[in-house]
Chains A and B, each alone.
Chain A
Amino acid sequence: MTAAIPVEITMFRKARTGDRQAFAELVTQHQSMVFSIACRFLRDGTLAEDIGQEVFLELYKNLDRIDNESHMVHWLRQVTSRKCIDHVRRARLRPKFGLEDAPEPVADERPEDPLASRMLERMVAALPARMRMVVVLRYQEDMEPAEISEMLGMPVASVKSMLHRGLELLRSKVQRKRGGAE
């Protein structure tokens, strides 16, 4: 008896053999992840799309170096993060405090309080660059600190410390906001 091969694996294999339709399926499947990482980090939808497209074009060129579907997801997250960090480093962007033009999140579970979520999103957007990427990878992509450290080439201790400081910063801001609103 042969076990059924998941569609994603078949698509990945087909894409590796040069099947453009299969590659288009892969793009559709992972575009949300790539775009979200870039958009949350760069705080600019247009720029996030440009970076996202570059990431997928690079993926196309490097498909033969990627072993399997999960390796591809890891590769996409890594290349997106690095491209975003490089971009910010080059452009020395300053925080813009706002994601007004960013698309609505499509989380499975709708937030209990959309306004509070929006506020948190803006607070995350205002975090320093590296800390922001660590927070996005941890809470958007649900990655473990060890994975983030490997992906960004940072010691695990630094990732944990950034997460801790980030949470403290966000907590104090939220408390100030909520305290002020009461």
Chain B
Amino acid sequence: MNLERELKQALGRMEAPAGFTERVMSRLEPPRRAKMPPRWVPWAVAASLLMSTGGSGWLYQQRQDRARAEQAKQQILVALQITGSKLDHIRAKVRSVSAEEN
């Protein structure tokens, strides 16, 4: 008796029940599909980008204009101060000349 040979014969592989593959496949999770964003999303992103860059540009421009106006105001004030002191000086000169004539 060759028991090992007999065992190999007796323990042949069995057929799985019919429909086994189909039952496995029906239990698989549905394929994972990458979620596509709605069509309006890219447009919305583009618009918001545009608005944010445009907005920040506008803000920058506003700030620049204000700085320039402030600078001009300072220059005018300095010029007025200079003019005022010059006028004082001339007035003093005129007074001293007319005092000498008298």
Q: Interface of A with B (CB < 8 Å)?
A: 18, 20, 23-24, 27-28, 31-36, 39-40, 45, 49, 52-53, 56-57, 60, 102-112, 116-118, 120-121, 124, 135-136, 139-140, 142, 167, 170-171, 174-175
| Residue interface bits B24-68, CB-to-A below 8 A is 1, else 0 | 110110011000000000000000000000000000000000000
The residue in chain A whose Cβ has the minimal distance to the Cβ of B6 is A120
B1 adjacent to A106 (CB under 8 Å): no
**Smallest beta-carbon distance B93→chain A, Å:** 98
Contacts of B97 in A (CB 8 A): none
Q: How far is the CB of B9 from chain A (nearest CB, A)?
A: 4
A136 to B11, CA, bound (A): 7
Q: How far is the CB of B26 from chain A (nearest CB, A)?
A: 10
| Interface pair A124/B24, CB less than 8 Å apart | no
The closest CB in chain A to the CB of B23 belongs to: A53
One of A57, A107, A121 near B24 (C-beta < 8 A): A57
**Are A112 and B9 closer than 8 Å at their CB atoms?**
yes
A157-B4 Cα distance, complex, nearest whole Å: 19
Q: Which residues of B contact A (CB under 8 A)?
A: 1, 3-4, 6-17, 20-21, 23-25, 27-28, 31-32
Q: A111 to chain B: which residues have CB within 8 Å?
A: 6, 9-10, 12
Which chain B residue shows the least CB distance to A103? B14
Contact among B12, B15, B27 for A140, CB-based, below 8 A: B12
Most chain B CB within a 10 A radius of its CB, from A34, A35, A175: A35
Closest 6 CB pairs of A and B: A107-B12, A105-B12, A117-B10, A35-B16, A31-B16, A120-B10
Q: Is the CB of B31 within 8 A of A135?
A: no
Specify which chain A residues have a CB less than 8 angstroms from the CB of B13 in the assembled complex. 32-33, 36, 105-107, 140
| Docked pose: A32 CA to B17 CA in angstroms | 9
A33: which B residues are within 8 A, CB to CB? 13
Are A52 and B11 touching (Cβ within 8 A)?
no
Decide: B11 and A32 in contact? CB cutoff 8 A: no
The contact of A142 among B3, B6, B8, B15, by CB within 8 Å, is B8
- Asked if residues A31 and B21 are in contact (CB atoms below 8 Å), the reply is yes
Contact yes or no, B17 A124, CB < 8 A: no
User: In the complex, what residues of B have CB within 8 A of residue A108's CB?
Assistant: 12
Residue of A nearest to B11 (CB): A140
Chain A: minimal CB distance from B11 (Å)? 4
Contact A27 B25 (CB under 8 A): yes
Whether A20 touches B17, Cβ cut-off 8 Å, given contacts A120-B7, A121-B11, A139-B4, is no
Would you call B3 and A174 a contact (CB within 8 A)? yes
CB distance from B96 to the nearest CB of A (A): 103
* Complex contact A27–B7 (CB within 8 A): no
